[in-house]
Every structure is written in structure tokens, then in C-alpha cells.
């Protein structure tokens, strides 16, 4: 299900995403789960525990993709969650607590300059100001919601109370090569790195490529190029930190015109929030220095800020014991990618299970997880739910 022919692109609130939500909604109903869709498009299917009205353990991930994506990122976690709930029912092992399968909206943050939109709305941490953000076509997020039959005015009602949720387990492909290199099918995520995303705009002066002498130019692209290299240089000098300029737009974009405006993004990540904050301050100072030296105007806007998150020890221990029961080796690692679990950590304990992916490739059509590894992840999820149910008070 894609917005584009010939490649997989499923942006939140677009036609392919709506189709995917409808398909998963049907599967949830076939599994006997009463479903609901909240104001931002989070899809939830609930199975009550042995006692009705108990708090729920959430399971799931997201259905949206990046542009020209692979088939497993996000979707695998939703389908594994649904399969785990179905498997428990087949075994007649309904837990003491409720289970909710969740397909979050807009984890990737590709269409609009914000990410984890659905999970932050559920956690009650989403700033209502995001409703005014626009995509490349000038459509606001609020308008995109209305076009799907959703209600931007109901944003506050998306928030769940902490007492309603026992925790959140998210299964996801690793998106890296560690598990494959070590010959391990599934791994336990000890922590998720913190991340900052910036939108940078550099203003110079447009001019004719043949008539303006080099010494008199205020070339926005030349300044932006120096800034991009500064991003790389600062990141390389800090252990464990990574920084990426993933999108760059040059205006007016003519071959014979000096660029007068450039917009680009910066993605900064580290497992240590203090280190990320320090590098961010150094980076913003360096960008300002470059702009001043070239006579350029600079605007830097933070579009996403997420603190590093550590997995809950109790949930992580349950996953580890489930692996041991199944005879699977234990491998713990840190996630360098952001996930919905980061947002839900604001209101409930979280933990993640990684599934080995071929060559560590993700956000690419070559993304792949083998059926045997997916089956291993399902077995770990089911066994974990059994363990947690046995210990539930």
C-alpha cells in the first residue's frame, strides 16, 4: 500500500496510510478485538483480561513509512503484537490484565516537521501548535486530519492516564547490523538514544551567476555547505554521537543563478543527553559564526526533541527470562533510532525487542527480516506475556 507507484511510500494521513489502517482494523475485528481510532489516527484493538476493566499492557508500533521504504519498519511490530494476542487466545492463556494492540500514527515524521505524533498525543506531551505545521503542499496538519475524518479539536482526548497502562512492549527490526554479525535472531533494547531535529534556513542574496564578482557574493548554498561540514566535523569528534543532514533545498534552484536561500535539516542523536546538549550548543554557535562571516541571515528551529530513554528493568527482565525459557541467547543493545516507546515512556514503563534484519539495512527497499527470526520474536513476546500474567497483582 503506497502513495507512489513503483516504490513504497506510506505517509501518515495519506491515501495509502488510510488503506493500511483500514486493513489492520479489519484484522483486529476478525481477531475479536473491539477497536477505536483516536483523534490523530492511533488505531487500538483491546482484549480484556480475565477481569474486565484492568489496566492494559500495550503492544505495537506504527504503520507509516519513510519515502521509498522497506516493508518491515513499524509494520512488523504491529503484526507481531496482533499475532501474539491471537496466539494466547488459541492457547487459552488469557492474561490477568488487558492487552491493547496499537498502530501508532506518524512515527516517522516525514510529511510534517514533527515525529512520534501519535505516541506523543497518547502520552499527552504533544504540543497543540503542531496542528499548524504545513507539509510541502501547504496543507496544515489539522487539515490533513480533517481530510481523514479525524478531529484535530479532540487532540487532548488522545492522552491516556498513567493508571490505565501497565506498560508498552514494542517489537521492531534492529535497523542495524549487530544481531546479524553475532548470529542472534532477537535482541533486547536497554536504551533508546535521545534525539534533536533542527530545520535550518540560510538567507543570502540571489544574483546572476555571470555578473556578480565572487568577492561581492552572499551565496546561501556556499554558506550552507560549510555548515554541513561543520555538522559532520563536530559529530566525528564526539564518541557515541551521530549527526545527519538528510534534506537540503536550494532556492531559486536555477543553473545560472546564485542561490539566495537554502533550507536543510539536522538530526542529532546520542545515548547521553548531556553530551547531545553540549554538542548542540557548540553547533549552533558554529553555524552563527559561519553565517556572520559570510553576511548571511540564519534561522534555526527545533522541530523535535526527545530525551534518551532506558527500558524498564522489570519488562526487560521478563523478556530475558522468556528468551531463556525458549533457549535463545541473550544480547542487549542500544537503539540508535527513535521509536514510539520513547514517547510512551512519559506515562508508562517501556521495553523493546529487536529482530535481526539482513545486512542491517533499513529505510530502504532491501529491508528484510527472515520468517524464522520473526517466529522467534513472536515466541518471545508470547512467553513474556505469559510470565507477566503469572506475576501480575
Beta carbons of 248 and 294 less than 8 angstroms apart: no
Over 90: is that where the pLDDT of 113 sits?
no
Measured distance CA(319)–CA(388) in Å, rounded: 9
Measured distance CA(185)–CA(355) in Å, rounded: 6
Q: What are the cell numbers at 249?
A: 533545498
Tens-digit pLDDT profile for residues 190-240: 999 999 999 999 999 999 999 999 999 999 999 999 999 999 999 999 988
Percent of the chain topping pLDDT 70: 100
In this structure, the strands spanning 186-192 and 309-310 are: antiparallel
**Predicted local distance difference test score (pLDDT) of residue 393:** 66
Which of 325, 321, 323 shows the shortest CA–CA distance to 376? 323
Beta carbons of 364 and 70 less than 8 angstroms apart: yes
Which whole number is the average pLDDT over 276-298? 97
Which of 98, 137, 115 shows the shortest CA–CA distance to 40? 115
Residue 208 pairs with which residues in a beta bridge?
A: 257
Measured distance CA(233)–CA(158) in Å, rounded: 41
Tens-digit pLDDT profile for residues 48-74: 998 888 999 999 999 999 999 999 999
Tens-digit pLDDT profile for residues 170-180: 999 999 999 99
Q: Please, is 252 exposed, middle or buried when counting C-beta atoms within 10 Å of its C-beta (0-12, 13-18, 19+)?
A: exposed
Which of 150, 57, 133 shows the shortest CA–CA distance to 341? 57
Residues in the chain: 393
Measured distance CA(206)–CA(217) in Å, rounded: 9
Over 90: is that where the pLDDT of 294 sits?
yes
114 vs 331: which has the higher pLDDT: 331
> What stretch(es) of the chain map to CATH 3.40.630.10?
15-192+308-391
Measured distance CA(145)–CA(255) in Å, rounded: 38
Tens-digit pLDDT profile for residues 312-366: 999 999 999 999 999 999 999 999 998 999 999 999 999 999 999 999 999 999 9
Give CATH for domain 194-306.
Answer: 3.30.70.360
Average pLDDT of every residue of the chain? 96
In this structure, the strands spanning 332-335 and 165-173 are: unpaired
Residue range 15-192+308-391 in CATH 3.30.70.600: no
DSSP 8-state symbol, 311:
P
Over 70: is that where the pLDDT of 387 sits?
yes
Beta carbons of 28 and 45 less than 8 angstroms apart: yes
pTM equals 0.84
Amino acid at each position: 500500500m503506497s502513495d507512489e507507484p513503483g516504490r513504497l511510500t506510506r505517509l501518515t494521513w495519506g491515501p495509502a496510510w488510510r488503506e493500511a489502517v483500514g486493513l489492520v482494523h479489519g484484522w483486529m475485528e476478525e481477531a475479536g478485538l473491539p477497536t477505536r481510532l483516536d483523534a490523530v489516527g492511533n488505531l487500538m484493538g483491546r482484549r480484556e483480561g480475565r477481569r474486565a476493566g484492568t489496566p492494559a499492557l500495550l503492544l505495537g508500533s506504527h504503520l507509516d513509512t519513510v519515502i521509498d521504504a522497506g516493508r518491515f519498519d513499524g509494520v512488523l511490530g504491529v503484526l507481531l503484537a496482533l499475532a501474539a494476542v491471537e496466539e494466547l487466545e488459541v492457547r487459552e492463556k488469557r492474561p490477568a490484565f488487558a492487552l491493547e494492540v496499537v498502530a501508532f500514527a506518524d512515527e516517522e515524521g516525514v510529511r510534517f516537521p514533527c515525529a512520534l505524533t501519535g505516541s506523543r498525543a497518547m502520552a499527552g506531551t504533544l504540543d497543540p501548535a503542531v496542528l499548524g505545521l504545513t507539509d510541502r503542499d501547504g496543507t496544515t496538519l489539522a487539515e490533513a486530519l480533517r481530510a481523514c475524518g479525524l478531529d484535530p479539536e479532540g487532540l487532548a482526548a488522545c492522552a491516556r492516564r498513567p493508571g490505565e497502562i501497565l506498560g508498552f512492549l514494542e517489537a521492531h527490526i534492529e535497523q542495524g547490523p549487530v544481531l546479524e554479525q553475532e548470529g542472534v535472531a532477537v535482541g533486547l533494547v536497554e536504551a533508546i538514544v535521545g534525539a534533536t531535529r533542527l530545520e535550518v534556513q540560510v538567507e543570502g542574496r540571489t544574483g546572476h551567476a555571470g555578473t556578480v564578482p565572487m568577492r561581492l557574493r552572499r551565496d546561501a548554498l556556499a554558506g550552507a555547505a560549510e555548515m554541513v561540514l561543520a555538522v559532520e566535523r563536530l559529530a566525528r569528534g564526539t564518541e557515541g554521537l551521530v549527526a545527519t543532514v538528510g534534506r537540503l533545498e536550494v532556492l531559486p534552484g536555477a543553473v545560472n543563478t546564485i542561490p539566495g536561500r537554502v533550507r536543510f535539516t539536522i538530526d542529532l542523536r546520542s545515548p547521553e543527553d548531556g553530551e547531545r546538549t553540549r554538542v548542540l550548543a557548540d553547533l549552533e554557535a558554529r553555524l552563527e559564526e559561519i553565517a556572520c562571516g559570510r553576511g548571511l541571515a540564519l534561522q534555526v528551529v527545533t522541530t523535535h526533541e526527545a530525551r534518551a530513554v532506558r527500558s524498564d528493568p522489570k519488562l526487560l527482565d521478563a523478556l530475558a527470562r522468556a528468551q531463556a525459557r525458549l533457549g535463545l541467547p541473550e544480547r542487549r543493545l542500544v537503539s540508535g533510532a527513535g521509536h514510539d516507546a520513547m514517547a510512551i515512556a512519559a506515562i508508562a514503563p517501556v521495553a523493546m525487542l529487536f529482530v535481526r534484519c539482513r545486512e542491517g539495512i533499513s529505510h530502504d527497499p532491501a529491508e528484510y527480516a527472515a520468517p524464522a527470526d520473526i517466529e522467534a520474536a513472536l515466541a518471545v513476546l508470547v512467553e513474556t506475556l505469559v510470565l507477566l500474567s503469572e506475576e501480575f497483582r
